[in-house]
Amino acid sequence: MKHILKSQQFSRQEIEKLFADTDHIRGLYEDPEKKKGLMTSLQGKTMFAIFYEPSSRTRFSFCSAAANLGMIPIWTEDAGKFSSAVKGETLEDSIHAFCQYDPSVIVLRHSEVGAAEKAAKIVDQFGYETSIINAGDGKGQHPTQALLDLYTIKREIGRLDDITVVVGGDLANGRTVRSLVYLLSKFERIQFVFLSPDNLKMGDDIINHLKEHDIKFTETENMKEALRVADIIYWTRVQTERGSINDTVDLTIGVEEMYLVKSGARLMHPLPRVGEIKTEIDHDSRSAYFRQIKNGKFTRMALLEDVCR
């Protein structure tokens, strides 16, 4: 695999291979003896994190992953303000220029849908060895987030088939949610329950994708009912900064709501949360949202190992 651009590029086999690699790396990391070898495995290689939109969490995740493999991370926190983009340079020229410094990988975050694909195209056109990893392109994709979500499901409930997934919150704007749905639809007997206020429903592109692939889904505004049937509850924030409003459905999950949830189920959230999950359930063993972040580092380490070798 050269570039990581979108969730759809991964076949089921590739996903399973990636997760086995992730488990392997995690095993090495957690073994004091073996950790040393792991931490020099990509020594001498460089990772550039070019963030046109600030996102310190994603950046720290990638930079930690790189550093834990011995790579040197070099970044810009806000390329939109700090780079030649200010002077009117195209993204293609910027990427073309950065490739001259010979980074093994460029992790790109951009506000524009398709930015990572543009970047990959210029890399390939000129034959550079640099890999592009899409770390979010506006309302487009954030494939490493989707992969870490999927890895979390696998790790938490032990399987990726036969799952009822309740996806709730701002489904209209959730890039994360959309990528996850694409990825999960590669597996068997997945059922989706989409829970959102009427004005924040899942977009037609996803709905059509599910119909085409004959994947079961329902749409509801009844949270209690949804929580009862879920194996995985994937919760999201209402993105008020993108104009989303929710004044119709209460989507808050706390101790009381967790009584409805199966003992073997898990609650996930890409974070940040702004009240839709109460901190009172952070210690509940079914709350997997912080473990999700931890899984992100290991998944990204596996991806870096894959594209940088």
Give the footprint of a second copy on this chain (CB under 8 A).
Answer: 35-36, 39, 44, 46, 48, 50, 54-57, 59-61, 63-64, 67-68, 72-74, 76-79, 81-84, 86-89, 92-94, 96-98, 100-103, 126, 237, 241, 271-274, 279, 282, 290-291, 293-294, 296-297
Of the pair 70, 191, the CB lying nearest a second copy is at 70
Active site residue 57: yes
Structure tokens at 211: 């119909």
SS3 108: strand
CB of residue 226 to a second copy, shortest distance in Å: 24
Of the pair 13, 100, the CB lying nearest a second copy is at 100
Of the pair 231, 276, the CB lying nearest a second copy is at 276
CB of residue 77 to a second copy, shortest distance in Å: 5
CB of residue 255 to a second copy, shortest distance in Å: 17
d(CA 71, CA 158): 31
* Strand partners of residue 73: 47
Of the pair 12, 81, the CB lying nearest a second copy is at 81
Rg for the chain, CA atoms, rounded: 20
Active site residue 87: yes
CB of residue 291 to a second copy, shortest distance in Å: 8
Amino acid present at 14: E
Provide the angle, in degrees to the nearest 10, between the axes of the packed helices 289-308 and 56-67: 50
Q: How many CB atoms are located within 10 Å of the residue 20 CB?
A: 11
Listed residue (65, 55, 82, 3) closest to 29, CA to CA: 65
* Strand pairing report for 131-137 and 105-110: parallel
Please give the C-alpha separations between residue 284 and each of 9, 122, 196, 227, 302, in angstroms, as whole numbers.
Answer: 35, 47, 24, 15, 29
**153, containing H or E segment:** helix 143-157
CB of residue 115 to a second copy, shortest distance in Å: 16
d(CA 269, CA 263): 18
Of the pair 260, 293, the CB lying nearest a second copy is at 293
Active site residues: 57-58, 87, 109, 142
